[in-house]
Chain A
Amino acid sequence: MSFLKIRSCFSLLIFVPTFILFSVTVASAQGDKASAASGNQEMIQRGEELFKGNCTQCHAVHEKVVGPALTGITKRVPMAKIIKFVHNPAQLISVEKDKYFVDLYNEYKIEMTAFPGLSDNDIKSIVAYIESVPPPAPKSKADTGGDSGEVASSEPKKDYSELILVLTVITLILVAITLLVFITVIRKYLKDREDTLAEEDKELVNQKFDINAVIRSKGFIITVSVIFSMVAIRACWVGLMSIGIEQNYAPKQPIPFSHKLHAGDLKIDCGYCHTGVYKGKQANIPGVNICMNCHSVVKEGPVYGKAAIASLIDHYEKNKPIQWVRVHNLPDLAYFNHAQHTVVGGIECKTCHGQIDTMQVVRQHANLTMGWCINCHRETVVNAKGNAYYDRLLQFHESKKKGDMKVEDIGGLECSKCHY
């Protein structure tokens, strides 16, 4: 056994755990995407779309919101009457004075908006959808409904990674202790047989572990300084690269509006408030008149009580625009169009905005850097199926056979797609 071997053994014992600890800390975990489940029957699916687009502002299936809970509607009212009511509520309430609806009116003090644009089949689909929704599970489990599974599933994953970290540290400490024990035992054993050892080995065995010597050793100093400068450089680099990046920016808003409540619990479709998101460049922050569609009736919220809504109504009545704080700030030199991504690309809002339906306060989910855009354009397959615009491109792409047609394959990385 040579001196060098034993020596390097010591160094390893100290540095290996340090390295592992460091690298584990630096590594960051990434969230997973989960796919939303959807119904299989065509009618129910269409009903769901219509329900979310038209009804969720005031109705939920199993809860009273602005209007009554709709579950079991067919048992209470015949289909023909439902259709008639949806087309023209005023007729049944004010003219025909139908008892059921008059009672409802007296209870909720608001007449339902008429939907003359919905066909009989549309309304039947909506009813079919309502009937297909199972009653919510008992309170013991997560109470936010179907989507909560997604949220729940990501949480243990996070715990797991922490657990690995703790376990690794514990294991490494155990290994270090075991090794120390080994060394002590071996040394003792060798000391007992000191006579048989060579002179040099004797010296080594008798040598006391001198921490100062180790610290002053060249190897140690070089290694530490290299590590230190690497960490410093990396920190600088990360710092510099994050200038202007406002990821996780979650400013306080003048009115504490909760997306968790509106988009998550009440399941109001994003397009109901963000009117431009399927139409054009901007998603649009809704005008107060859109808020007032519901809040002329709903005056108290479950989280912030009456004050927040009172402030909203105050703005409306005093003709005072609300100065929201912009969360997502794309630089002026970049052109981004929502419709291109939501309608044409079929990208879900969550992909870029994160779990907006669980955010009490909206937070910038993605870092919105050019690298982030480009990366997605490199990975995303073009939603070309059934869109005649892409026919020529698909044909061309298939003739070249390179697998799926990604956005980058059709010029998605070219400057003038976003900069002009």
Chain B
Amino acid sequence: MSKENTKIYWKGIEELSGDPDFLKNASNEFPEYVPLKEQQGDYISEGTSRRDFLKMLGFGLGAVTLAACEAPVKKAIPYLNKPEEIEPGIANYYASTYVDGGDFCSVLVKTREGRPIKIEGNSLCPISKGGTTARVQASVLSLYDSTRLQSFYKGKDKPLQPSEYDAFDTEIINALSLASNIRIVSQTILSPTTRAVIQKFKEKYTSTEHVVYDASSAYGILQANKLMFGKYVIPSYDFSKADVIVSFGADFLGTWISPVEYARQYVSTRRLGKSKKTMSKHYQFETNLSLTGSNADIRVPIKPSEEALYVATLYNAIAANKLNIEEKKNDVLKKVADLLNANKGRSIVVCGSNDVNVQLMINEINRALGNYGTTIDLNQPSYQRQGDDERMNKFIDEVKSKAVDAVIFYGANPVYDHPRGAELAEALKSVKVKISFNERMDETTSLCDYVAPDHHYLESWGDAMPKKGIYTLMQPTINPVYKSRSAQESLLKWAGINTDYYSFLSNYWKSSILNGASWEKSLHDGVFVKTSEPTNENNADKKDKNNQNNNDASDSTKTIESVDWSKVEEAIKVYKTSEWELKLYEKVGIGWGSQAANPWLQELPDPISKATWDNYIAVNMVDAQNRGWKQGDVKKLTANGASVTLPILIQPGQTRGTVSVAIGYGRVIDGKRKVIGENAFKLADTKGGYVSFNVTDVKIEDTGDFRQLAQTQTHHTIMSRPIIQDATFEDYLKNPSAGRFIPMITTPDGKKKPKEVSLWEKEHDKPNHLWQMSIDLNACIGCGACVISCQAENNVPVVGRDEVLRRREMHWIRIDRYYSSDADSKSKDPQEKYFNTNYNEMEIPAEYPQVTFMPMMCQHCNHAPCETVCPVAATTHSSEGLNQMAYNRCFGTRYCANNCPYKVRRFNWFKYFDNRERFPENIAMNTDMGRMVLNPDVTVRSRGVMEKCSMCVQRIQEGKLKAKKEKRPVKDGEIKTACMSACPTQCIIFGDINDKESAVYQEKRVENAERVYAVLEELNVQPNVEYLTKIRNI
């Protein structure tokens, strides 16, 4: 009757093609999906027999019964002599200063029972204004790192007992007094007192010279200012006064000089609201997609070799005297020039180049625009970069020519982080006395004869002067964890001054800085601002800088007309483009590698690539396609005689014909841990006498290897879904709710708003508080400080590279980064655009995309989908609007995670604590030292339970209790979540929406009511976290 059915169905293309792997497994009904065995090695044997099972059951039962019979006796050991200020269970905060080379941040250190456990920003500081960075947040874990040197060393392998320290000192003093050429090598020293200490040392050992360099150098700017204005300084930049911001490769939001300060200023020009309808316009010309570039309104991809020419073209369009060069033809550049000319005095042009000629042009552009005195201030210089590349080059030459007898490395690791490190390492062998103060047995220290490790900044007294007139103090928040000694004390001791550094510091402050102001108050605030700086500064730090003409009182804009523009012209012509060009860049998390051993930072997804635990060669998508390269292909990259072997990452926004590699990786820590990535410093260019991260003549070769990169986000576009809702500034001005997607649900009674179609009959009351959050997408720069802050506050484990590859990272807050796709723009209608069906195309990010960052954490839905599916009611809703998670109730069905539309729930696949074998990276839970960083108010979760953002419920409870004890309502702003308090731009506002005066109410209901949206509003889950639309000034 019927025809025989001849159709054949295949399970997949493998079956059709007869793939051998497929055929092998075809008969197995149950594939082994869970690769548990491979991961765990031998300790789960192949197949458990019935007898083994019974044995285990019997033993287990017996063990449990025995354990239950008698509770273990727990001891309680109180203080012998309780310090007055410490009350167990109550946190103390101390103002201090985070300093790492030239990086600066004024902080408050939260200590519990005498242990620092969390870093907060210090809002009294006029520079950092309460903001922090991921590195600052993570520094508290570095304190407890057991790979820090635990005692003095003589040579690489001989640790000393504290009783031997005196002999050690005598030996060094003898050696130093015999030396005739002593060099102290350091990075930027912000501390005026340390400079005074070095001065004292120099007085004893008169042949001493202090060599300052920076791993992340700004020598170009310093030198340009010296040539042009006679001042070897970095000016104060004020982005908040700029309407037009132009940056050539300066990542001022991420890593350039003082990012916390600049981010706050920058965002103040980007915020919008009822009372503020202006917005700056930001142009970025750069090679790699940086954090700043991804926030720019208009980003122009350029090659490193073109940077000088681009700047020169702009120079010609603005400055009075023109250079005779072949100008770049670029429409954007023309528009920028017009805009800058129209906004004289209200603009700022910055450049990340280290070439003094380029910086001279930048200076001249800013001067022609009248920006000195408005957005740029030379009268209050910043001291955050002081490194002298030429002096450092000279030092290496000196060492090579055996002209140095003794060298002291203070917080400097040039063998690793100077491009000529290998040369230096070889030459150092001839130096008789080599001393290091570094905290670790790093590349340089392991070559030294004497190692006297310095304290961590949380253990030591200290100070900093990041800018003229702004002084901050550093105070110990814990007794030294190891047998280290402050470097200043060592130097003083060797200089024959037997005083502890604290007395030296306080005396120096009282005599030279405070001018009668209170030491106690300065220590309490952490900051001392000197309003009237004496005209004639004769601080030790000024004396120290040789060939420096410091005459700060003079008018800053007065030029010493010694700039030879013809030389600049020549220098620009030197730049030649090549087939492949390389840009070396700093990552927000790792920086120049000083905290490379910090697992929090290694696991912090890079804001742009979302890659963890690796550095890589970022290439343009089209370049990769043309050459048939795939992400993860390992290539050998050679430049300046050095090479690195790294996997490839396809990076939208990377200029065609260029690659970029992050510095700060490839650290040899102490041999115990794996080296992560490769050192890229050696690729840098030093031909011009300065360190240049713009490298040409790069060769890339295949190796045939493959290494998968552990990225936390592999889907790059939003596929036109209204998760990100954005609009142009122009549209916003016409209609504040521009870009908003207002979903309507089709019902039998016609279209309705999602809120009107509910599963629930009645809403639960929130009589007292309703905790809500507002996140301004215009203010979020994507820096990731919140991620680390949350990790520290909430005891979030580090899972390691392998687990990240399995998408099992545990961060409670992530920053989703979305690229635009060229396919997006097909439909202009805002409503229709979200129903574009061009999915395949839309999945591919544009070659040079727009970028949006979106912090995403538990949205604390008032109609939470996770709560209804939990079979044991482990996740429930509170009367204050919080989505609660009771870990001990959870038994791990993971239904909630599956039902969460935001994918913010994290499952503990393993026991991450007390499990050093399996998770050696998770030092905060697996080492005795590391455990000290855990927050005692937050449970450490065990295997098999779900966890997620709790909106820092421990802080809410603490704040409420404080109010209750004082018999008053909760004040707005006194409870801050960890993410909110860490944010340098204050893009996250948390508070009680029931309080009409609260900042969150004002932002969401008054100032920006039209911009507020809930992600996936159509689901009517009614989240308590809401976002403000992203507005671009295109």
Q: How far is the CB of A15 from chain B (nearest CB, A)?
A: 36
Question: Per-position contact with A for B56-95: 1 when CB-CB < 8 Å, else 0?
Answer: 0000000000001001011111111110000111100000
Knowing A415-B876, A417-B957 are in contact, say whether A285-B76 is a contact too (CB < 8 A): yes
CB distance from A322 to the nearest CB of B (A): 7
Known: A276-B89, A284-B78, A396-B765. A388 touches B969 (CB 8 A): yes
Given known A-B contacts A279-B87, A280-B89, A410-B768, A323 and B970 have beta carbons under 8 A apart:
no
Q: By the criterion CB–CB under 8 Å, are B969 and A391 in contact?
A: yes
Closest CB of chain A to B111's CB: distance in Å?
Answer: 14
CB atoms of A389 and B967 under 8 A apart? yes
**B868-909 near A? 1/0 per residue, CB < 8 Å:** 000000001011101011111100000000000000000000
Q: How far is the CB of B867 from chain A (nearest CB, A)?
A: 11
- Nearest CB on A from B60, distance (A): 15
Q: Answer whether residue B499 sits at the interface, using C-beta atoms and an 8 A cutoff.
A: no
Tell me the complex Cα distance, A297–B180, Å: 63
User: Taking A243-B68, A319-B80 as contacts, is the C-beta distance between A335 and B937 under 8 angstroms?
Assistant: yes
* Interchain Cβ contacts within 8 Å, total number: 154
For the complex, give the distance between the alpha carbons of A155 and B599 in Å: 62
Cβ contacts under 8 Å, B87 to chain A: 275-276, 279-280, 284
B88 touches A286 (CB 8 A): no
* B90: chain A residues within 8 A (beta carbon): 276, 279-281
Please pick, from B78, B939, B957, B967, the residue contacting A387 in the complex, using a CB distance under 8 A: B967
Does any Cβ of A come within 8 Å of B558's Cβ? no
Judged by a CB distance under 8 angstroms, whether A315 is at the interface is yes
Q: Is the C-beta of A149 less than 8 angstroms from some C-beta in chain B?
A: no
1/0 per residue A369-405: CB within 8 Å of B?
Answer: 0000000000000000011111111001100000000
The answer to whether A88 has its CB under 8 Å from any CB of chain B is no
List of B residues within 8 angstroms of A321 by Cβ: 77-80
Contact with A along B773-806 (1 / 0, CB 8 A): 0000000000000000000000000000000000
Contacting residues, chain B, for A390 (C-beta < 8 A)? 964
The CA-CA distance from A290 to B81 in the complex, in Å, is 8
Known: A329-B71, A393-B768. A419 touches B78 (CB 8 A): no
Give, as a whole number of angstroms, the nearest-CB distance from A240 to chain B: 9
Give CA–CA (A244, B69) in the complex, Å: 8
CB distance from A207 to the nearest CB of B (A): 52
Please indicate the chain A residues that have their CB under 8 angstroms from the CB of B73 in the complex. 251, 325-326
Note all chain A residues with C-beta closer than 8 A to B965.
Answer: 339, 343-344
- Measured in the bound complex, the distance between the Cα atoms of B815 and A236 in whole Å is 52
Q: Is the CB of B82 within 8 A of A287?
A: yes
- In the assembled complex, A316 has its CB within 8 A of some CB on chain B: yes
> By the criterion CB–CB under 8 Å, are A415 and B961 in contact?
no
B23 within 8 A of A: no
Task: Say what secondary structure dominates the interface of chain B.
Answer: loop
Chain B, Cβ-Cβ closest to A387: B967
Measured between beta carbons, the chain A residues less than 8 angstroms from B954 are 335, 420
How far is A47 from B614 in the complex, measured between Cα atoms in Å?
68
A414 located at the interface, meaning its Cβ lies under 8 Å from any Cβ of chain B in the complex: yes
Q: How far is it, in angstroms, between the C-alpha of A141 and the C-alpha of B325 when the chains are bound?
A: 111
Interface size on A, residues (CB 8 A): 55
Query: Does A360 have its Cβ within 8 Å of any Cβ on chain B?
Result: no
Is B89's CB under 8 angstroms from A282's CB?
yes
Flag if A284 contacts B88 (CB, 8 Å). yes
B77 and A324 form a contact (CB under 8 A): yes
Report if A332 contacts B (CB, 8 A): yes
Interface residues in A236-255 (C-beta closer than 8 Å to B): 243-244, 246, 249, 251
Q: How many residues of B contact A (CB 8 A)?
A: 47
Interface string of A109-121 (1 = CB under 8 A from B): 0000000000000
B963 touches A (CB below 8 Å)? yes
Q: Given contacts A246-B71, A415-B876, A416-B878, are A337 and B961 in contact (CB under 8 A)?
A: yes
- Contact indicator B963/A244 (Cβ below 8 Å): no
Q: Does A289 contact B (CB under 8 A)?
A: yes
Residue B11 is within 8 A (CB to CB) of chain A in the complex: no
* Interchain CB contact under 8 A, A340 and B961: yes
B950 within 8 A of A: yes
Residues in A neighbouring B879, C-beta threshold 8 A: 410-411, 414
* Shortest Cβ distance from residue B553 to the other chain A in the assembled complex, whole angstroms: 50
Mask: chain B, 998-1031; 1 = CB below 8 Å from A; 0 = not: 0000000000000000000000000000000000
**Which residue of the partner chain B has the closest CB to A392?**
B768
When distances are taken between beta carbons in the complex, the residues of chain B under 8 Å from A320 are 80
Q: Are B950 and A420 in contact (CB under 8 A)?
A: yes
Residues in A273-318 with C-beta less than 8 Å from chain B: 275-276, 279-282, 284-290, 315-316
The yes or no answer to B18 lying at the interface (CB within 8 A) is: no
Distance from A34 Cβ to chain B, minimum over Cβ atoms (Å): 28
Do B75 and A289 touch (CB < 8 A)?
A: no
Q: Are B76 and A396 in contact (CB under 8 A)?
A: no
- Select from chain A the residue with minimum beta-carbon distance to B963: A389
CB pair A414–B876 under 8 Å, yes or no, is yes
Q: Which residue of B lies closest to A345 (CB)?
A: B964
Assuming the contacts A414-B878, A419-B939, asked whether A315 and B80 have C-beta atoms less than 8 A apart, the reply is yes
Among A319, A326, A392, A415, the residue within 8 A (CB) of B767 is A392
Selected from B78, B768, B967, B994, the residue in CB contact (under 8 A) with A324 is B78
Contact mask for chain B residues 647-686; partner A; CB cutoff 8 A; 1 contact, 0 none: 0000000000000000000000000000000000000000
For B969, what are the chain A residues with a Cβ–Cβ distance below 8 Å?
388-389, 391-392
Cβ of A80 within 8 Å of any chain B Cβ, yes or no, is: no
Report the minimal beta-carbon distance from A241 to chain B, rounded to whole angstroms.
11
B-chain residues with CB within 8 Å of residue A287 when the two chains form the complex: 78-82
Chain A residue at minimum C-beta to C-beta distance from B968: A388
* Closest CB in chain A relative to B439 CB, distance in Å: 30
Chain A residue with minimal CB distance to B876? A415
Contacts of A288 in B (CB 8 A): 78-81
A333 interface residue per 8 A CB criterion: yes
10 extra interface residue pairs, beta carbon distance < 8 Å, beyond A284-B78, A288-B78, A326-B73: A246-B71, A285-B78, A288-B79, A320-B80, A321-B79, A388-B968, A389-B964, A397-B767, A416-B884, A420-B953
Binding site for B on A (CB under 8 A): 243-244, 246, 249, 251, 275-276, 279-282, 284-290, 315-316, 319-326, 329, 332-333, 335, 337, 339-340, 343-344, 386-393, 396-397, 410-411, 414-417, 419-420
17 pairs from A and B in contact (CB 8 Å cutoff): A276-B87, A280-B88, A280-B89, A281-B937, A287-B82, A319-B80, A321-B77, A321-B78, A325-B75, A326-B76, A329-B71, A386-B967, A389-B963, A389-B964, A393-B767, A415-B889, A419-B939
* Shortest beta-carbon contacts, A-B, top 10: A287-B82, A281-B89, A282-B89, A396-B767, A287-B79, A416-B884, A415-B886, A411-B879, A280-B90, A326-B74
